[in-house]
Structure 1
Amino acid sequence: MSETGKFNIFSFTGKMKILHLSWFAFFITFFVWFNFAPLLQSVKASLGLTTAEIKTLLILNVAFTIPARVLIGMLTDKYGPRLVYSALLAVCSIPCFVFAFADSFVQAAIARFALGFIGAGFVVGIRLVSEWFPHNELGTAEGIYGGWGNFGSAAAAFTLPTVAIMFGGDDGWRYAMAITGVMSLLFAFVFYASVTDTPKGATYFKPKQLGAMEVTSKGDFFLLLLMKLPMYGALALLAWKLSPTGIGMLSDSAVMAIYSVLALIYCYEVLQVWRVNKTVFEKPVPEVHRYKFKQVAILNVLYFATFGSELAVVSMLPLFFSETFELTPVMAGMVASAYAFMNLMSRPGGGWISDKFGRKPTLLILTAGLAAGYFLMGQVDSSWPLWLAVVAAMACSFFVQSGEGAVFATVPLIKRRMTGQIAGMTGAYGNVGAVCYLTILSLVDYSTFFYVIAATAVIGFITLLMMEEPSGQIAEINEDGSIVMIDVANR
């Protein structure tokens, strides 16, 4: 199922070409998705927005990503990464252009909400990379894909203000944002022309039905329905933050309407899950085709704590350093960027360690480090030397981002034909975590915020004890009915 050949990061042929094109596609999606934050003050002044309206745009920027990652995961499994990634890059350039040239809050809000869809691009590459790399290189490859692509957000923060200044004037920010849209549109064509879903001669396995994730036991059916609830809960929480109780963008009746729609969609999802999986109540699934959904549920919890905390901490860390050590905003931003910079090596490092020492042992060590790291961050106050606080943040960041790499070193080893859906659900849990943590931050002080993340990491560690190390092979079925066995670990 994967291409043989040496793993050479400096090569641009075969599987390495696919890896480089994949991480750059992911890089562009994050570059576009996070193009707002570094230009926030310019947007606020140009459009005459209030602080509440700016906060609303920040919330809308992440809201749509939760359902989008689940949907894009399904589409990827059905239609292939090449088509889905290319279409996503092209289509999402449209709301990017709309936002760049918006002249009212309503236009900006609609465009920002739609742009949340581009944050789902991550899950497409997870499936594509898994098709090209063998199990013993998969963690490293997925880590490079995730870590280098994720750096798109930091690249946006560093480059876009300069680009805006180069254009100059009140509209400099518009041209800077429009350029990110052009990059997304152009690379959509490059990606489509340069990538194939699998190595030559390999089969791209697809789910039997589109509409819901397949499970292979009665217990897993109910666990799947349970694990969907937090995603709807996070969307309801976002609606609450927009209500009169929160920032007051929506009326009480509008928020109640959103709650009702979310409840109806969940009921529809229950019906879809039943339609796809009702056969598990009629006869047992053959042993060779079974997988344990608890593996997916555990990875969801771990990604909630890792990527969820990363998104939340990146959002608040400049302010934390500014207030704690009385730094200027520019200096605080530079100091806080040390946390994001760790992504370049930490995420690939977590994947590489997983390849060498096993998925579960690596996750156990990194999750324990994650809990300890955030507990340490909760101790930081103005009595600390600044350099020591930065070292603590970087150490914590290493465990967070290495943990993310280790999670997605495991995702493709559960069930090949559903890798997109599994990655989509796990990725969505990262956004659910961010929503929950940022809501908690609005209610408590910084120390308590860090301690809460540490506590959820401990919960993740406990659930991880129930995880089973991927071993042996997983079975997939060719169109002619023959069974193919795919290695997921050394035998």
Structure 2
Amino acid sequence: MTSEKFNVFSFSGKMKILHLSWIAFFITFVVWFNHAPLLMAIADSLGLTPSEIKTLLILNVALTIPARVVIGMLTDRFGPRIVYSSLLAVCAIPCFMFAFADSFVQAAVARFMLGFIGAGFVIGIRMVSEWFPANELGTAEGIYGGWGNFGSAAAAFSLPAVALWFGGEDGWRYAIAVTGAMSLLFSVVYYMNVSDTPKGSTYFKPKNIGAMEVTSKGDFFFLLIMKVPMYAALALLTWKLSPNGVSLLSETTALLCYVGLALLFVYEVSHVWKVNKEIFEKPVPEIHQYKFKQVAVLNVLYFATFGSELAVVSMLPLFFAETFTLDPVMAGMVASAYAFMNLMSRPGGGWLSDKFGRKSTLLILTAGLAVGYFIMSLVDSSWPLWLAVVAAMACSFFVQSGEGAVFAAVPLIKRRLTGQIAGMTGAYGNVGAVTYLTVLSFVDYSVFFMVIAATAVVGFITLLFMEEPKGHIAEVREDGSVEMISVN
């Protein structure tokens, strides 16, 4: 940690790390959602059906489920500097692939691969936690997440204009290619200008990266149970792509995917056992224990918050276009109001957590989230457009403040596992997105918003079991000495 003053207008020390990290995250979101405001042009150019469009939306968030878990492990092991830089560079490739796809299959494969860039968020969570103390961590993580998340809004209101500037039926292709170039260039900037920790600080690494460590027998089985929804979401995606859905996969290929997921789950269980079998032989000293239920509660809350944001950001331009008969540019600009709230809401949620406590803040914001989506379910063409936009922005405030509050708590569970915990929690956000977008493919917009509101109520009930972080985290340095990290 560094003792310098928290000054958002500074670009040195820990503030430089924060600013470069949120910019990296911003670019990942621009790339990840560069298709959403251009869907109409893409559909016309490639001759896509409504079902194929919705399939692209689902594919875009699917791979991020395992990617966030994997990237979290790699971040804990190799450090955020090299992992973030590598992710930005590598993911420019499928971005270019999508920009110049000439069929649904090519576009679908590229969008599926681009889901990997959605894992970038996890890396910055660990980076920021290394540079800021507990009493500033919620605010810093909120700025990182909120200003970075604004990338989706930036894409929504800028890319249609960029496409028009290039002109012609291929304007959307050049607009998307520009985002790939941004990602590639910034990978070099990030690598050259950040370090994993302040000078003299220890970067604590997990003993193993094959699976998350737990500290009790009960938590071992709890971890396995919490893995199931991630595999269920991938199975749901496979079903959607099978002949029962849009027929992108043959029946045989779909069956092989199901078998592969089952085998992968068995393989992961074996790794969880390998990493944690010692807890069945002797108990973990109390000073080194943490409660996995803290992780599980945050997983459920991120399912409802970030999961709904991903789904809504993907479909909101179409929702406004169809409900209020708007052209694509206007629909994209109006829909960007939802993500625009990220600039203040997510940092606000983190700041409130720093000032008034993690649990109490989350309870209030989750309740507001449920009410917000219930109101969104009532929006139809009889509403004035301005009132619908206000409703979307109000709902967005609670959604994104809730995200900020979730990740104000994530780094306070176990420092050396922060990347993995952030990865699993982030993955649950994508499980939520896949679930919600699949629901959207079967129901109208009103029911879609109502389903999200119902899951928020479930999240509120789950939150009652969370414990307010307090005391210290004990981590062991390489020389065997113990460092006590305050979480108050």
> TM-score scaled by structure 1?
0.95
Q: Percent identity?
A: 79
Deviates more, 1:385-394 or 1:460-469: 385-394
Q: Structure 1, residues 110-163: CA drift from partner, whole Å, max 9, x if none?
A: 222211111100000000000000000000000010011011111122222222
CA deviation profile, 1:82-124 (whole Å, cap 9, x unmatched): 0100111111112222222334444333222211111100000
**Residue in structure 2 matched with residue 63 of structure 1 by the alignment:** 62
Contact 2:68 2:424 in 1 (8 A): yes
Question: Match of 1:349, as an amino acid?
Answer: G
**Alignment match, 2:446:** 447
Over 3 Å counting, the alpha-carbon distance change for 1:23 and 1:269 in structure 2 is same
Q: What secondary structure does 2:229 align onto?
A: helix
Q: Structure 1 residues 382 and 38, CA, compared in 2 at 3 Å: closer, same or farther?
A: closer
Note if contact 2:88-2:184 (Cα within 8 Å) is conserved in structure 1.
yes
In 2, Cα distance between the equivalents of 1:404 and 1:268?
A: 31
Task: State whether structure 2 residue 412 is matched by structure 1 residue 413.
Answer: yes
What's the CA shift for 1:171?
Answer: 3.1
Q: 1:323 to 1:60 in 2, by over 3 A?
A: closer
For the Cα contact (< 8 Å) 1:56–1:249, is it kept in 2? no
Distance 1:91 1:382, change over 3 A: closer
Corresponding residue for 1:83? 82
Say whether residues 1:276 and 2:279 are aligned partners.
no
Please list every run of 5 or more consecutive structure 2 residues that lacks an aligned counterpart in the other structure: none
* Mapped partners of 1:89, 1:386: distance in 2: 37
SS in 1 for 2:484: strand
Unaligned runs of 5+ in 1: none
Cα separation, partners in 2 of 1:189 and 1:433, compared to 1, 3 Å: same
Shift of 1:383: 4.5
Alpha carbons of structure 1 residues 56 and 193: separation in structure 2 relative to 1, 3 Å: same
Deviation at 1:49, TM superposition (A): 4.3
Q: Bigger CA drift: 133-142 or 35-44?
A: 35-44
> Displacement of 1:168 after TM fit?
2.8
399-408 vs 307-316, which moves further: 307-316
Aligned pairs for 1:168-317 within 5 A: 168-317=167-316
**Deviation readout 1:430-471 (Å, 9 max, x if unpaired):** 111111112222223333322221221111111111111000
Paired AA for residue 172 in structure 1: G
| Counterpart code for 1:40 | L
Structure 2 residue matching 1:197: 3-state secondary structure: coil
Q: Distance in 2 between matches of 1:179 and 1:208?
A: 40
Contact 2:205 2:416 in 1 (8 A): yes
Cα gap change, 1:183/1:317 in structure 2, threshold over 3 Å: closer, same or farther? Answer: closer
Distance 1:239 1:252 in 2: 10
Q: Please give the per-residue CA displacement for 1:34-92, whole angstroms capped at 9, x wherever unaligned.
A: 11222333333444444444433332222111100000000000000001001111111
Q: Which residue of 2 aligns with 1:361?
A: 360
Q: Is this contact kept in 1: 2:358–2:468, CA < 8 A?
A: yes
Aligned residues: 488
**CA, structure 1 residues 109+315, in 2 after alignment: closer, same or farther (shift >3 Å)?**
closer
Superposition CA RMSD, Å: 1.7
How many Å apart are 1:29 and its aligned residue?
0.7
Matches of 2:163 and 2:335 in 1, distance apart? 22
Once the two structures are TM-superposed, the CA of residue 388 in structure 1 deviates from its matched residue by: 3.0
TM superposition shift of 1:267: 0.4
Choose 462-471 or 307-316, whichever is displaced more.
307-316
Counterpart of 1:181 in structure 2: which amino acid? G
Tell me: CA distance 1:459–1:444, structure 2 relative to 1, closer, same or farther (3 Å). same
**Greater Cα shift, 153-162 or 9-18:** 153-162
